Structure 1
């Protein structure tokens, strides 16, 4: 199992596109410089009225499947 920390800064409008499945994957940079893509439906667990802003930890299985997303720090 692996964890990646990603920085996300998404407006409410951007989150809406993910929520309505107009975009299937979120693409972001990890804090160690890797490009990361994960299913957009995962944002439903962390979105607020202000969108999604902060550092989030992704827990990923050995097969590359996203298991969990949790907020680690706020960017505001």
Structure 2
């Protein structure tokens, strides 16, 4: 319960921030994500993204801990 409470506190603090913590694995970040940057730029969201570059397994752990807002993950 204490761990869940800590995660909830982190999520509430993140909701007040203007930055979006966004996880991208290297391959997705270099091959697929650039296709979406023009739309994100036009929507005014690109400057709000704080990109975290790790493998999908590491990003999944960061999401579970509440340390990332969202991530694109690759899986077989």
Fold agreement, TM-score > 0.5: no
TM-score bin, normalised by smaller chain: under 0.3
Q: Which has the higher contact order (CA 8 A, sep 6+)?
A: 2
**How high is the TM-score relative to the length of structure 2?**
0.27
State the TM-score, normalizing by the size of structure 1. Answer: 0.27
Where is the helix percentage greater, Structure 1 or Structure 2?
Answer: 2
